[in-house]
Structure 1
Amino acid sequence: MLPGGNVSGRGLGLLVLVAVAIWLGTGFYRVDTDEQGVVLRFGKVHAVTEPGLRYRLPWPIDTVLTPRVTSINREEIGFRTLGDTAGRTGQQRDVPEESLMLTGDENIVDIDFTVLWQVRDAGQYLFNVVNPSQTIKQVAESAIREVVGKNNIQFILTDGRTKVADDTRQLIQQILDSYNAGVLITQVALQRTEPPASVIDAFRDVQAAQADRERAQNEAEGYRNDIIPRARGEAQRIVQQAEAYKQETVANAQGEASRFIQVYDEWRQAKDVTSKRLYLETMEQILRGTNKVVIDSQAGSGVVPYLPLPELQKQRQNSSQQQQPQR
């Protein structure tokens, strides 16, 4: 073999080694902080890698996809936002075939809402669902129709907005997890909840009438709560007064009966003394408040035989007042 031929073989081997080294060097790849690396080996998911400098077998053995997983994506259901050339939010276009839905009490409500989501598992996100954005939108529309169909319109339009949004988010997440979609639903926000535009005026009239009815009921309840306790208190007071009068009357009657029996017993034992005492007590009660004149039938006929007791009492009172020292 020629010496030149030996040099030629070594050069060829060196070239092969350099080519192999370059080929192996193409296996290095970088995953940014907002991405996940999905390594495919012969087209099948082999591994999911975190941010940083990574290595995989060179093409055509392994290939890498690096989808962004930290960015928040937005889906609009019931409306579409039309942006201008500067990217600012512009007008909104209503999509009634998505927003109109039937409530549990057989009313129609018009709901616009947004769904915010992000990638949770890059491998599932890339290969388990063909069109993740469209799938999320359809699942969200189906989920909120189910939630709205379980509630009445009054609850949805007033106190139930937060509960409807939360129940819808949980149901969307549950359905997507059953699909192994690799998606996390971060928020469901209701933008607009109201009756359809064609009946909104009539609905507001109904709401006003219901408000008037509730106000009248509250006023009647307030009057009832005021008048009934007062009537019960008045009735209780009358009952207590009647009970007190009853007890007083019974006690007086029992006292009078007992006194009569005692006087009767005394009269049976000493009729003359008891009769005189009763006579004197009776005359004392009769003459207690009258002017009295004492006449002596044995004083003779020269001077009027009487004693003016009231005048004497008045003179005694006047003299006692005059004798009091001056202050």
Structure 2
Amino acid sequence: MTTSDGYTFQLDENVDRTPVRFKNRFGIEIAADLYTPKNATGKLPALAVSGPFGAVKEQSSGLYANEFARRGYVSLAFDPSFSGESGGEVRDVAAPGIYTEDYSAAVDFLGLQDLVDRERIGAHAICGLSGMALTAAAADGRIKAVATVSMYDMSRSMSRGYKDSYTPEQRQEIVDYLGRQRWADAENGTFARGSHEIPFNADGTMAISDRILPETLPEGADPVTSSFFDYYRTERGYHPRSVNSNTVWTATTPQGFFAFPLMANIGMLAPRRALLVAGADAHSRYYSEDVQAMAPGNIDLVIVPGADHVDLYDRKDLIPFDKLDEFFTKNLA
């Protein structure tokens, strides 16, 4: 339920929340909330937190940051560039390189805070920002550890389809569609909206949509759509600034994800460690399993029984906060 101050969770009584702003290296202003333990002193470990893809800081990332602060971390929940309250002239365009940079910019900000120990800064991500957090960590040695929950590799999802189901012909068809859409946007001087993950109809045609989720849930909706709808379109997690709650990304958004494979340099993370958490019943579980298999020596995997993908957005009875805390305590030591 959305609270009177616009958040989808209650602020813990032992935590302070402060709205902050900072710029990434492209000059885009990032909007964030800084969560700190009340009456904190000394130098504390810190976490940059964002996600899911298409969500805002008042939703799941804020819930996680609030809980981490309750446990003694300085936590920064931020809106990625072009979304939520963050800057960027074209609204709701997702850019993997810039989203990855946003994590490093969050580390910049955290490292300048008097309460933060620069040598104990980590990253945490939910759903579609997980690929950006892992990619940022691989390239930014200041991120000493990274954890993800309900991971999605958005470049793999957009360029290859669910479980890599696109045929080579379908991939080329999407690339051609994106090119035509860029001509249309250039001619019109606007940025049209359209599906960031493009399914194909039974007859083989692309199923472009002007919404991520329907206004109302149709009868017989598939379980994945139903679970996302239950979070983003109901009182449970609805927020007016969330792309997922209300609209859809710019139509040419997938082009950047075809060009930017997020896991290309995951080996650079070592010897630092990552922890991936996935629901046992999550449709996205294979992303975490596949990434863990790329680097089993420094990436650990936790499977949560009885949890689907969306359960780990806000179901505190299922989210393994103790395991996440244990991981960061050990690896930010």
Q: Quick check: TM above 0.5? A: no
Please indicate the TM-score interval, normalised by the length of the shorter structure: under 0.3
Quick one: higher RCO (CA 8 Å, sep 6+), 1 or 2?
2
Give 1 or 2 for the bigger CA radius of gyration. 1
**TM-score if structure 2 supplies the norm length?**
0.19
Answer 1 or 2: which has greater helix percent.
Answer: 1
